[in-house]
Chain A
Amino acid sequence: MTADWLDIGWLDQIPVRGARTVPVAGGEEIAVFRTGDNQVFALVNRCPHKGGPLSQGIVHGHSVACPLHNWSIALKSGIAQGEDKGCTPTVPVKVVSGRVLICRAGALAAA
């Protein structure tokens, strides 16, 4: 049996307004974001537009701008903002005592 929540590291390893990625064996990479107000979100590291790596975008408020074509993706829902249409799968994530935990089942399902 393995735990439902996977401990992936310390919160302070993610730069404020930045992201880190988590490799998923046989699946898609997950991007874990930390916002200016220290909230944490996890999404599949893929823009719904052309598959750009969202982890490399500029994080502003609770959105990230995709580095390829500047689509703005809401971190909480994964939904493209404004006129753009599309959605990136999200993964449940939480922070406990400074450690970042992502939901194993969520990560595998999303990937």
Chain B
Amino acid sequence: MELSGSEPSGEEAGGGPLPPCGREHLVVVGNGMAGCRAIEELLARDPERYRITIFGAEPHVNYNRIMLSPVLAGEKSFEEIILNGHDWYRDNRIALVAGDAVVSIDRQARAVFAASGRTVCYDRLLIATGSDPFIIPCPGHDLDGVISFRDMGDVDRMLAAADTGGDAVVIGGGLLGLEAAHGLSLRGMKVTVLHLMPTLMERQLDEAAGWLLKTALEARGQTILTGADTAEILGDGKVEGVRLKDGRMIPASIVVMAVGIRPNTRLAREAGLAIGRGIHVDDHMVTSDPAIFAVGECVEHDGQVYGLVAPLFEMCRALADGLVEKHSGYRGSVTSTKLKVAGLDVFSAGDFSGGDGAEDIVLRDASRGVYKRVVVRDDRIVGTVLYGDTGDGGWYFDLLKRRENVSELRDLLIFGQAFASGGGAADPKAAVAALSDDAEICGCNGVSKGQVVSCIAKGARSLDAVRATCKASASCGSCTGLVENLLALTLGDDVQAGPKTMCKCTSFGHDDVRREIVAQDMRSIPEVMQRLHWSTPDGCSSCRPALNYYLLCALPGDYADDVQSRFVNERMHANIQKDGTYSVVPRMWGGITNPRELRAIADVVEKYDAPMVKVTGGQRLDIFGIRKEDLPAVWADLNAAGMVSGHAYGKSLRTVKTCVGSEWCRFGTQDSTGLGVKIERMTWGSWMPHKFKIAVSGCPRNCAEATIKDFGVVCVDSGYELSVGGNGGIHVRATDFLCKVATEVEAMHYCAAFVQLYREEARYLERTAPWIERVGVEYIRERIADDAEGRDAFAARFLHSQSFSQEDPWAERAASHVQHAHMAEFHPAKNLTDGEIA
């Protein structure tokens, strides 16, 4: 191999003349966006300074890699995404060596070697090798038909596969994966996207925007599986499908791997340059060898590696300044991303993680499918996420990069540039005053300003009254601010505060939220938050458990419980105590037990060193002082003796307390224990707005204290007296009489109906006593005692719901080999204190 003087021939130089000699020779490894942009910047500063040779591994001229998605989607041709054609190389006397990859660098000889054996010497070397797609090393990753999405060759392979149609699987729900999926879908393939994380594009989007995106893509016919972990790519020589770790199989004739990219540092590493995640460069893009520079996705600057195009442009400017000795320096980049899928506008920039001192300004417009979030810290924008309306993305990004003080714009910022800095009135109330009478205020219900004002004039003195009379702001709530301003404008200080909202995250009360969940068939917490314009990204500890319950109640068997929206006790299936240990209460049906259960409880107490066992007010045994890590073993032991969770921790049916009844008691009129057991078997495991207690007494002496329970049965000679809404808490309240029935079957039927009415209509964390005081016992009687048809329907809905909820949570968790995540500890390989293996 010749070391010196081997010049690229004129052929590869696009037919142009050879570069003139006598100047320093700058060799560029990489004919992509970074390499060529660096040269453009250099030529703009001093076109005569260097003799230039560019090596490219691909057999193409310089094209715009980020436009590969539109090529795949058929929106552009390859010719349209060429940045610099052959004439550019020729006119600037650049020698292009395309289709011959550089395989090594000899820093001592200052030469690079290409795959063909070609050797070229350099005075300065620029490495712009970009990044490589990351391939998950799962079984089958090397099958024919597994394609990455990085270059024109990949696009050609995908297009060839799309020609025959069929199923495509895209692994990775990030920017690149979704663009690939969109392209393949447009080309007629049936596309499934597998994404490991719970939300799409989680690095660029928050959960709300990720949910909107998923919904929109599904509406376009793609199947999106989140939380999908690939186990294996199946096929005999060629891809036939993908198997997930949970066992699901998805057929596929091609698999596109778009799970991420890695800086391509191989050449630099083998040449002995300093490497971290990328090639280490200083502010002037100089590597650890002063004769060698690097730019683009292959570099690591100040601990950061970038996979986007904007930083690359900034790096190239700093590099070119350095090459002509007018050092400016690169200071790192703030990045923004935009999804290139036609019709889906998604934009994110900066740090939208919130945190201390950060203020979220959120605007949701459900009818237009818009979600906008601007994060402000110390009067400056630090991040933004936009979905559906990204027109102001550039403006926010510009304010962000310039660190502009936005305190003056604060109130109107979220409405965008036109509103905030244009001619729009600075005072929102004045802006509303300026609206004409026929200006539409509420888009959902078509209510004009004139109608709102006249409804206020006719006596609506609160937001709620306006909602109830003219329906403005009663659907999605996005015009709530406008209506409030109209109230203030019309009434001044006479505006009445509405009923309490659910929490500070929303302007709606519990009843409104529940009604809309059912009316709009909402199916997840992020969906509710989007459609009802939540003002926080993921709610708070008040609204999340409530929404989780409302959805669970509205969609039995269909809604996937959100464990992270549960209070600790319901997540741990035990009661947390003040020292952080838990108490465990096994279910004892109707308060009846036997030697086997008692032995099992005694064994658990001894085995786990429980300091106390107590009989509870509901006739159960409570084992105190169980450590968090022992809970699964305790459950397994109790399960083995036939006992299940007593739900003593839940907003759910707690216990059915009984007295001994006619079987033993000389006063007993009916089999109260038998009925209690039956009722408990029917109602256990049901989630409720709050805890729910039942008792059955065998005679009017009422030893089971049925008249201070949520549902009480008092047996009499002629049947069963049913009463509701009792409470033995801070405010003792005796039950209200509901009705009397003749048979056990009827007693159970009325009980099921009442429980369901409570489940569907009470507010979260409202016990039956305050609920009944609020709606009146007459209302309950009308719905349950007087309306036979309604009663049957309530009972049927309850039993349907119960068919999904009577799984013992203890057995599920004790049997699971996967540790309950909330109980798990990290076990570091080394002990914190002494560095020994733990």
Do A and B actually bind? yes
Chain B positions 627 through 657: 1 when the CB is less than 8 Å from some CB of chain A, otherwise 0: 0100000000000000000000000000000
The answer to whether A58 and B544 touch (CB under 8 A), given A22-B826, A35-B353, is yes
CB-contacts of A51-65 with B (<8 A): 51-53, 55-62, 65
Among B78-86, B96-104, B661-669, B830-838, the one that faces the other chain is: B830-838
- Chain A residue, CB-CB nearest to B526: A36
Q: Which residues of A contact B831 (CB under 8 A)?
A: 25
CB-contacts of B520-544 with A (<8 A): 536-541, 544
B833 touches A39 (CB 8 A): no
In the bound complex, CA of A51 to CA of B829 (Å): 28
A7 touches B828 (CB 8 A): yes
A57 touches B568 (CB 8 A): yes
Q: Which residues of A contact B578 (CB under 8 A)?
A: 50-52, 68
- Chain A residue, CB-CB nearest to B358: A62
A68 nearest CB across to chain B (Å): 7
B825 touches A108 (CB 8 A): no
Residue B206 is within 8 A (CB to CB) of chain A in the complex: yes
Q: Which residues of B contact A87 (CB under 8 A)?
A: none
The answer to whether A65 and B355 touch (CB under 8 A), given A13-B824, A15-B821, A24-B832, is no
In the bound complex, CA of A75 to CA of B824 (Å): 20
Total chain B interface residues with beta-carbon distance under 8 A: 51
Which of A8, A27, A72 meets B541, CB within 8 Å? A72
Which of A26, A58, A72 meets B564, CB within 8 Å? A58
Residue A83 is within 8 A (CB to CB) of chain B in the complex: no
Interface SS of chain B: helix, strand, loop or mixed?
loop
A20 touches B826 (CB 8 A): yes
A10 nearest CB across to chain B (Å): 9
- Chain B residue, CB-CB nearest to A79: B356
Interface centre among B203, B540, B821, B825 (most CB of A within 10 A): B825
Which of B571, B580, B834, B835 meets A53, CB within 8 Å? B580
Residue A18 is within 8 A (CB to CB) of chain B in the complex: yes
- Chain A residue, CB-CB nearest to B822: A18
Interface centre among B563, B568, B822 (most CB of A within 10 A): B568
A57 nearest CB across to chain B (Å): 7
B572 touches A16 (CB 8 A): no
In the bound complex, CA of A38 to CA of B196 (Å): 13
Q: Which residues of B contact A76 (CB under 8 A)?
A: 355-356
B634 nearest CB across to chain A (Å): 17
Q: Which residues of B contact A38 (CB under 8 A)?
A: 202-203
The answer to whether A37 and B825 touch (CB under 8 A), given A16-B564, A58-B564, is no
Q: Which residues of B contact A74 (CB under 8 A)?
A: 356
The answer to whether A39 and B355 touch (CB under 8 A), given A23-B825, A61-B540, is yes
Chain A positions near chain B (C-beta within 8 angstroms) = 2, 6-9, 12-27, 32, 35-39, 50-53, 55-62, 65, 67-68, 70, 72, 74-77, 97, 100, 104, 107-108
Minimum-distance CB pairs A-B, first 9: A65-B541, A67-B568, A2-B835, A17-B564, A58-B541, A56-B568, A8-B826, A36-B538, A53-B580
Between A and B, 7 residue pairs with Cβ closer than 8 Å are: A9-B827, A13-B821, A21-B826, A24-B832, A61-B354, A67-B569, A68-B576
Given contacts A58-B568, A76-B356, 16 further A-B contacts (CB under 8 A): A8-B828, A13-B824, A25-B832, A25-B834, A36-B207, A38-B202, A51-B578, A58-B565, A60-B544, A62-B354, A62-B356, A62-B358, A67-B568, A68-B576, A72-B541, A100-B826
